């Protein structure tokens, strides 16, 4: 995980943060978003991701997995929603491998993509989310 | 008991007619040998001879025979009524005999309903018989009739018992009710009749003696009185004569006053023939008297009482007392005519005596009444034959005006007895007394009537009792016959039971009837039980066998049920060949079975499931339960076994196990899907990125290879997951072998991990001792463990859903104790409520909503563990539930 932190490009201020506790997949996501013109940060630790979002106001969109060992995606969304100042707009997209879970009522508005996700739809959702965040 | 019917004569054959006539004639002759029961009462038994053939003669023939036989009564009694009534009796009997009723009972009925009214009309109204005699006749005729039928039945019984001549042997048997009736009536009637016959002469003699005694007494008094009278009067007359002679010949003869009352006159006859007379009434003919006296002078001894013959058309005879003098005396004789009625006055009147008249008679039939007598009696004495008079001197003689031949029955009322005795001193004369028998006869007859009425009442009573008794006997015997017929092994046939056997049987039937009915009931129950068993043995897919046990080893096959052919295809004979079982058993099961059946201890029950080769070549699964027990017949040990074809059950059980595994897999589907989605997601992203780079021409070989390697590793990961599922999902075919329990647990957790992770359930396996081996098929043991783990996870999920947010924890421990491996699976879920705890291993019991569980998981786990020789139990612990599996350790 420390390796991942080091690799995280601090200079470019990416507007998107990808959170997934499966480390293998993160670079692929990052590469995919890069290729599509969306520079994104990646983080495999939800706790760390929380700190990163709080500390980096330029992050406008968090794409997160739901099922993660330390802190699940739903909790992360709730904590971020609760912690950020009201003037900060932050959008969420859920990308999960679990097709059976139902979203809790309070985060029901968050778009959900089931892995393996339809890439075009995902890109469209990212684009509209970033538009809303601006 | 209804005994076999004889062939009834089909038509009136000529031979039959002649037989009837001959039989009637024989009966007629027998009727001449009547039994005298005293005072004109006769029993006749000729008809019995005819009645004996009531079952074999045609009705018309029988009536004809009786009509001939009964003709004797017409000759005997001079009236046709007895003949008519007896012939009707025969008609009545044959009519009812055809209906197989007891002839004796029918006859009793006849006399009660027909005979008695007919006798009342004919004897009573037509012949005018007095009431007493009529009662006696009715009772006697009825008794005689019934007795005839009884004797006839006895004769018939004797004939069919002798079975000779041979062609009579198939005459109809006597029904038992007839037999019982016959026996009872014979017991009542025959001794009574014999007693009456033996007793009658003494009864009659008693009556005669009573009358005779009275007669003799009367005669004695009369004769001595008359004798004394003659003697004393002779002496008194002599004195008169002496006085006259002393007074001289010319003096008139005077009669003293005392003598004048008795004698009308007195004449003294001299030796010279002259006579001196006293005053005499005009009717005294002196000349005749003198001539009469001279006749007696030649016989000078004794007094003479001489009759002068009847006077004036009356039977009143004139008497003269002639007293001859001694030879020396001058008067030759004294003549004294007796006044009428003098002798009667000299006799005392009879008191309380049956004697109705006493007379002085002489050889010339002169009759002088010595007592006031009825003129008819006088006539009877007058008309009495001479020989009877002579006989009366010796004995009392019966006189009667017999009207109907020897029908003394009605005439004895008028019968009288006569007895005579000579008078002392008057040699020409006899005293004769006559007495009526009627009072004595009537007294005797009243006794007879009472006796016969009592007898008739007995006959009626016995008829009633015998009817009831024979009905009961018949019923018992019918039961008995049924039992006897049932015991067909003895070869007994109903028609072989002849009437004598019936008689014996009827004696003992009372005692054995209940026993036989009980035996027949028990036997019936046994037979039906046996049939049921046979049917079960034939139709049920159960093979029953028995084997000899020697030295605790399987010996020869003693018995095997027919079902063996249906189950194994082999016949019983083929299965009996030594070593068949060892050859038919599946090679893989052979050693196990040999070990199981190797030690056949008394009282041991062994159950094994193994495969047998069917005759057609395929294998069948059987469950063999063998119980070792002591042999019932000897002190040997034998074993009885039941083999059930469980091939289908095995298949069904396998299918169920399979279904259960599929359910387990289904229960992990979301976890598995997530698990598969991860590599797929990676592959998709990586491939998508590669495509994008290729499109932009940014392909760098090293980077490409690295990426493809990543893709391949994820493909491997996904196929690993699928392989695991496939291994778990396939149907195991191999034999159990030693495996490590820990390895199975790891495998299960690997499979379940995605789902457990998904549900946030933690698993603790730190207490799993390594190296604990059990003999099992990995897949089956894993199925059990997976089931338990998933159940635990479900229980935790349910608990968490209810708001208890504590982390879920499943603890799995493996340990050894004695020769057992102990595996426990604990959770901190909801636990098991007390009411469902006893049912959780029952099939189809589930706490899950429909579609989520089959309810077969735990029962199948139970079956798998049981098949491995272990146990599985459930219990509640402080936090949740605990399942404990115990399995034998593998060597």
The per-residue pLDDT for range B819-840, each reduced to its tens digit, is 899 999 999 988 888 777 777 7
Cβ contact B823:B814 at 8 Å: yes
Tell the burial category of B456 from Cβ atoms under 10 Å away from its Cβ (0-12, 13-18, 19+). buried
- In whole angstroms, give the CA distance from residue A119 to residue B685: 9
ipTM: 0.84
Residue B849, min C-alpha distance to chain A (Å): 18
Note whether A32 contacts B670, CB cutoff 8 Å. Answer: no
- Read off the pLDDT band of A49 (50, 70, 90): very high
Tell the burial category of B763 from Cβ atoms under 10 Å away from its Cβ (0-12, 13-18, 19+). buried
Bridging pattern class, strands B331-338 and B267-270: antiparallel
Q: When comparing pLDDT for B110 and B540, which is higher?
A: B110
Which pLDDT score is estimated for A48?
92
Instruction: Tally Cβ neighbours within 10 Å of residue B872.
Output: 20
Which pLDDT score is estimated for B768?
87
DSSP B415: -
Note whether B677 contacts A114, CB cutoff 8 Å. Answer: yes
Average pLDDT, chain A: 83
- Chain A residues lying within 8 Å of B762, measured CB to CB: none
* C-alpha closest to that of B35 among B192, B194, B233, B158: B194
**Strand ranges, E, within B707-842:** 737-740, 761-764, 773-776, 808-817, 820-827
Own/partner contacts of B284-289, CB < 8 Å, gap of 24 or more, are: B284/B337, B289/B320, B289/B335, B289/B337
Residue B846, min C-alpha distance to chain A (Å): 23
Which pLDDT score is estimated for B736?
84
Which pLDDT score is estimated for B456?
87
Cβ neighbors of B413 (< 8 A, separation 6 or more) are: B130, B133, B438, B441, B442
Q: Could you read off the pLDDT of B482-501 as tens digits, one per residue?
A: 776 665 444 444 455 555 55
| Domain spans in chain B, listed from the N-terminal domain onward | 14-174, 214-436, 540-645, 654-888
- For residue B886, the number of C-alpha atoms closer than 13 Å in the C-beta half-sphere is 7
Which pLDDT score is estimated for A100?
67
**Mean pLDDT, residues A87-111:** 82
Which pLDDT score is estimated for B265?
81
**Mean pLDDT, residues B339-343:** 78
* C-alpha closest to that of B481 among B526, B512, B527, B524: B512
- In whole angstroms, give the CA distance from residue B507 to residue B502: 9
Q: Report which listed range, A7-21, B260-274, B407-421, is most confident.
A: B260-274
pLDDT of residue B409 exceeding 60, the answer is no
Task: Check if CATH label 1.20.1250.20 holds for domain B14-174.
Answer: no
Cβ contact A21:A69 at 8 Å: yes
- Read off the pLDDT band of B884 (50, 70, 90): very high
Which pLDDT score is estimated for B351?
66
- In whole angstroms, give the CA distance from residue B543 to residue B406: 93
User: Do B14-174 and B654-888 show the same overall fold?
Assistant: no
* C-alpha closest to that of B89 among B36, B44, B30: B44
- Read off the pLDDT band of A43 (50, 70, 90): very high
- In whole angstroms, give the CA distance from residue B368 to residue B292: 19
Q: Could you read off the pLDDT of B124-176 as tens digits, one per residue?
A: 888 877 788 788 888 888 888 888 888 988 888 888 877 666 666 567 777 77
- Strand order of the β-sheet with B619-630 is B553-560, B542-550, B637-645, B619-630, B605-613
Note whether B696 contacts A35, CB cutoff 8 Å. Answer: yes
Tell the burial category of B162 from Cβ atoms under 10 Å away from its Cβ (0-12, 13-18, 19+). exposed
Which class would CATH give B654-888? alpha beta
Closest chain B CA to residue A32: B689
| High-pLDDT (> 90) share of chain B, % | 7
Instruction: Tally Cβ neighbours within 10 Å of residue A90.
Output: 17
- In whole angstroms, give the CA distance from residue B379 to residue B38: 28
Note whether A24 contacts B682, CB cutoff 8 Å. Answer: yes
- In whole angstroms, give the CA distance from residue B167 to residue A126: 128
Tokens of B408: 């003394």
Which pLDDT score is estimated for B847?
62
- In whole angstroms, give the CA distance from residue B546 to residue B558: 5
Tokens of B462: 């016995």
- In whole angstroms, give the CA distance from residue B111 to residue B751: 110
Lookup result for tokens 């990416």: A14
Note whether A35 contacts B670, CB cutoff 8 Å. Answer: no
- Read off the pLDDT band of B514 (50, 70, 90): low
Which pLDDT score is estimated for B489?
43
Q: What is the DSSP string of B146-174?
A: HHHHHHHHHHHHHHHHHT-SGGGTTSPPP
Q: When comparing pLDDT for B602 and A49, which is higher?
A: A49
Which pLDDT score is estimated for B329?
58
| Domain spans in chain A, listed from the N-terminal domain onward | 2-133
- Chain A residues lying within 8 Å of B758, measured CB to CB: 67, 98
Least confident of A37-51, A104-118, B697-711: A104-118
Q: What is the DSSP string of B856-886?
A: -HHHHHHHHHHHTT-EEEEEE-SSSEEEEEE
Of B678, B686, B696, the CB nearest to A97: B678
Which pLDDT score is estimated for B496?
52
Q: Could you read off the pLDDT of B716-765 as tens digits, one per residue?
A: 888 888 887 777 777 777 778 899 999 999 989 988 888 888 888 899 99
Closest chain A CA to residue B682: A25
Residue B800 DSSP SS3: helix
Which pLDDT score is estimated for B382?
74
- In whole angstroms, give the CA distance from residue B142 to residue B626: 80
Bridging pattern class, strands B317-324 and B331-338: antiparallel
Q: Could you read off the pLDDT of B214-241 as tens digits, one per residue?
A: 888 888 888 888 888 888 888 888 888 7
- Read off the pLDDT band of B811 (50, 70, 90): very high
Query: Which of the residues B671, B681, B760 would you substitute to probe the A interface, choosing the one with the greatest number of A C-beta atoms within 10 Å?
Result: B681
Q: Could you read off the pLDDT of B170-199 as tens digits, one per residue?
A: 677 777 777 878 888 888 888 888 888 888
Cβ contact B262:B239 at 8 Å: no
Closest chain B CA to residue A66: B758
Cis geometry, peptide bond prior to residue A116 (ω within 30 degrees of 0):
yes
Instruction: Tally Cβ neighbours within 10 Å of residue B778.
Output: 18
Which pLDDT score is estimated for B166?
66
Which pLDDT score is estimated for B561?
84
pLDDT of residue B260 exceeding 70, the answer is yes
pLDDT of residue B284 exceeding 80, the answer is no
Bridging pattern class, strands A91-96 and A61-64: parallel
Residues 51 through 80 of chain A touching chain B, CB cutoff 8 Å: 67, 69
Q: Could you read off the pLDDT of B631-650 as tens digits, one per residue?
A: 766 677 888 888 888 888 88
Q: Could you read off the pLDDT of B844-881 as tens digits, one per residue?
A: 666 665 555 556 678 888 888 888 888 898 888 888 89
Which pLDDT score is estimated for B466?
78
Instruction: Tally Cβ neighbours within 10 Å of residue B529.
Output: 10
Which pLDDT score is estimated for B480?
74
Average pLDDT, chain B: 79
Bridging pattern class, strands B35-36 and B42-43: antiparallel
Which H helix or E strand runs over B623?
strand B619-630
Note whether A35 contacts B684, CB cutoff 8 Å. Answer: no
Cβ contact B337:B284 at 8 Å: yes
Closest chain B CA to residue A33: B689
Cis geometry, peptide bond prior to residue B165 (ω within 30 degrees of 0):
yes
Of B688, B689, B710, the CB nearest to A24: B710
Tell the burial category of B411 from Cβ atoms under 10 Å away from its Cβ (0-12, 13-18, 19+). middle
**Mean pLDDT, residues B536-552:** 80
Rg, Å, chain B Cα set: 66
- Read off the pLDDT band of A4 (50, 70, 90): very low
Instruction: Tally Cβ neighbours within 10 Å of residue A70.
Output: 11
Query: Which of the residues A66, A75, A116 would you substitute to probe the B interface, choosing the one with the greatest number of B C-beta atoms within 10 Å?
Result: A116
pLDDT of residue B319 exceeding 70, the answer is yes
Note whether A114 contacts B714, CB cutoff 8 Å. Answer: no
| High-pLDDT (> 70) share of chain B, % | 85
pLDDT of residue B62 exceeding 50, the answer is yes
**Mean pLDDT, residues B328-349:** 75
Query: Which of the residues B670, B672, B673, B674 would you substitute to probe the A interface, choosing the one with the greatest number of A C-beta atoms within 10 Å?
Result: B674
Residue A81, min C-alpha distance to chain B (Å): 23
B716 touching chain A per CB within 8 A: no
SS3 for B220-254, per residue? HHHHHHHHHHHHHHHHHHHHHHHHHHHHCCCCCEC
Which pLDDT score is estimated for B492?
47
Which pLDDT score is estimated for B744?
92
Which pLDDT score is estimated for A101?
66
Tokens of B345: 């006055």
- Read off the pLDDT band of B276 (50, 70, 90): confident
Which pLDDT score is estimated for A24?
84
Residue B684, min C-alpha distance to chain A (Å): 6
pLDDT of residue B12 exceeding 70, the answer is no
Cβ contact B581:B571 at 8 Å: no
Q: Which CATH number fits domain B540-645: 2.40.110.10, 3.30.450.20, 3.10.580.10, 3.30.70.270?
A: 3.30.450.20
- A34, A44, A47, B693, B741 from A24: Cα distances, Å: 17, 10, 19, 19, 33
Residue B547 DSSP SS3: strand
Which pLDDT score is estimated for B632?
67
Rg, Å, chain A Cα set: 14
- For residue B390, the number of C-alpha atoms closer than 13 Å in the C-beta half-sphere is 3
pLDDT of residue B883 exceeding 90, the answer is yes
Which class would CATH give A2-133? alpha beta
Q: Could you read off the pLDDT of B380-408 as tens digits, one per residue?
A: 777 777 777 777 777 777 776 544 334 44
- In whole angstroms, give the CA distance from residue B229 to residue B235: 10
Own/partner contacts of B500-505, CB < 8 Å, gap of 24 or more, are: B500/B161, B502/B1, B502/B3, B502/B173, B502/B174, B502/B176, B502/B179, B502/B477, B503/B179, B505/B1, B505/B477, B505/B480
């Amino acid at each position: 995980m420390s390796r991942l932190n080091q690799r995280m490009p601090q200079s470019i201020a990416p507007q998107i943060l990808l959170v997934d506790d499966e480390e293998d997949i993160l670079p692929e996501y990052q590469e995919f978003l890069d290729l599509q013109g969306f520079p994104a940060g990646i983080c495999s630790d939800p706790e760390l991701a929380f700190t990163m979002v709080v500390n980096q106001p330029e992050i406008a969109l968090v794409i997160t997995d739901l099922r993660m060992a330390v802190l699940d995606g739903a909790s992360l969304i709730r904590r971020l929603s609760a912690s950020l100042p009201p003037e900060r707009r932050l959008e969420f997209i859920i990308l999960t491998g679990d097709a059976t879970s139902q979203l809790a009522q309070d985060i029901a508005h968050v778009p959900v993509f089931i892995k393996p996700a339809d890439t075009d739809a995902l890109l469209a959702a990212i684009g509209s989310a970033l538009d809303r965040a601006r | 008991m209804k005994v076999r019917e004889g062939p009834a004569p089909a038509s009136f054959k000529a031979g039959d007619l002649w037989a009837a006539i001959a039989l009637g004639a024989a009966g007629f002759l027998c009727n001449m040998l009547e039994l005298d029961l005293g005072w004109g009462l006769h029993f006749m038994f000729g008809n019995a001879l005819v009645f004996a053939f009531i079952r074999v003669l045609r009705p018309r023939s029988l009536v004809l025979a009786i009509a001939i036989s009964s003709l004797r009564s017409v000759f005997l009694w001079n009236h046709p009524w007895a003949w008519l009534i007896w012939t009707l009796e025969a008609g009545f009997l044959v009519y009812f005999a055809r209906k197989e009723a007891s002839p004796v009972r029918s006859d009793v009925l006849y006399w009660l309903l027909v005979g008695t009214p007919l006798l009342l009309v004919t004897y009573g109204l037509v012949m005018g018989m007095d009431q007493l005699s009529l009662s006696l006749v009715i009772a006697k005729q009825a008794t005689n009739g019934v007795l005839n039928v009884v004797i006839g039945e006895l004769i018939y019984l004797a004939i069919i018992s002798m079975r000779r001549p041979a062609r009579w042997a198939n005459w109809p048997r006597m029904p038992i009710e007839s037999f019982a009736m016959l026996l009872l009536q014979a017991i009542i009637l025959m001794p009574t009749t014999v007693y009456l016959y033996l007793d009658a002469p003494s009864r009659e003699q008693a009556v005669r003696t009573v009358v005779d005694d009275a007669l003799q007494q009367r005669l004695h008094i009369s004769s001595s009185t008359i004798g004394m009278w003659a003697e004393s009067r002779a002496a008194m007359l002599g004195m008169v004569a002496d006085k006259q002679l002393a007074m001289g010949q010319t003096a008139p003869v005077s009669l003293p006053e005392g003598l004048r009352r008795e004698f009308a006159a007195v004449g003294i006859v001299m030796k010279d023939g002259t006579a001196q007379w006293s005053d005499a009434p005009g009717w005294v003919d002196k000349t005749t008297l003198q001539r009469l006296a001279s006749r007696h002078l030649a016989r000078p001894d004794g007094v003479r009482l001489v009759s002068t013959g009847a006077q004036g058309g009356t039977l009143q005879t004139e008497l003269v007392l002639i007293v001859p003098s001694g030879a020396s005396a001058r008067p030759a004789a004294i003549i004294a005519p007796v006044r009428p009625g003098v002798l009667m006055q000299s006799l005392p009147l009879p008191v309380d005596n049956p004697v109705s008249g006493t007379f002085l008679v002489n050889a010339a039939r002169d009759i002088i009444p010595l007592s006031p007598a009825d003129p008819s009696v006088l006539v009877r004495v007058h008309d009495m034959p001479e020989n009877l008079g002579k006989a009366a001197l010796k004995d009392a003689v019966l006189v009667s005006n017999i009207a109907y031949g020897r029908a003394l029955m009605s005439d004895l009322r008028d019968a009288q007895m006569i007895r005579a005795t000579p008078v002392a001193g008057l040699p020409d004369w006899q005293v004769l007394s006559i007495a009526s028998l009627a009072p004595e006869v009537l007294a005797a007859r009243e006794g007879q009537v009472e006796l016969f009425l009592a007898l008739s009442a007995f006959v009626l009573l016995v008829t009633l009792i015998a009817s009831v008794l024979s009905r009961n006997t018949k019923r018992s015997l019918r039961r008995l016959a049924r039992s006897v017929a049932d015991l067909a092994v003895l070869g007994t046939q109903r028609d072989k039971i002849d009437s004598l056997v019936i008689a014996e049987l009827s004696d003992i039937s009372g005692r054995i009837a209940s026993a036989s009915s009980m035996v027949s009931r028990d036997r019936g129950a046994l037979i039906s039980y046996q049939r049921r068993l046979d049917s079960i043995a034939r139709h049920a897919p159960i093979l029953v066998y028995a084997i000899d046990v020697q030295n605790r080893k399987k010996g020869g096959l003693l018995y095997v049920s027919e079902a063996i052919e249906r189950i194994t295809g082999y016949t019983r004979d083929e299965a009996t060949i030594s070593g068949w079982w060892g050859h038919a058993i599946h090679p893989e099961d052979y050693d196990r079975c040999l070990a199981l059946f190797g030690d056949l201890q008394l009282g041991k029950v062994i159950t094994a499931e193994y495969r047998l080769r069917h005759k057609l070549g395929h294998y069948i699964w059987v469950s063999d339960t063998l119980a070792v027990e002591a042999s019932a017949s000897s002190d040997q040990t034998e074993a009885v076994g039941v083999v059930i074809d469980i091939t289908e059950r095995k298949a069904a059980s396998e299918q169920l196990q399979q279904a259960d595994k599929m359910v387990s897999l289904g229960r992990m589907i979301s976890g598995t899907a997530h698990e598969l989605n991860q590599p797929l997601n990676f592959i998709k992203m990586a491939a998508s990125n590669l495509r994008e780079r290729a499109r932009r021409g940014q392909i760098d070989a090293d980077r490409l290879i690295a990426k493809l390697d990543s893709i391949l590793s994820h493909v491997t990961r996904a196929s690993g997951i699928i392989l695991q599922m496939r291994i778990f999902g396939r149907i195991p075919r191999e034999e159990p072998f030693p495996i490590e329990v820990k390895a199975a647990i790891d495998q299960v957790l690997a499979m379940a991990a995605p789902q457990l992770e998904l549900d946030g359930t933690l698993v603790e396996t730190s207490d799993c001792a390594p190296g604990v081996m059990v003999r099992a098929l990995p897949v089956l043991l894993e199925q059990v463990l997976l089931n338990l783990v998933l159940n635990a996870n479900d229980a935790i999920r349910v608990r968490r859903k209810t708001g208890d947010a504590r982390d879920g924890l499943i603890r799995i421990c493996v340990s050894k104790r004695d020769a057992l491996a102990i595996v426990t699976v604990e959770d901190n879920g909801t636990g098991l409520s007390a009411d469902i705890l006893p049912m959780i291993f029952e099939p189809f019991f589930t706490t899950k909503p429909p579609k989520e569980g089959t309810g077969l998981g735990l029962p199948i786990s139970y079956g798998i563990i049981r098949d491995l020789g272990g146990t599985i139990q459930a219990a509640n612990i402080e936090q949740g539930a605990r399942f404990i599996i115990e399995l034998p350790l593998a060597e």
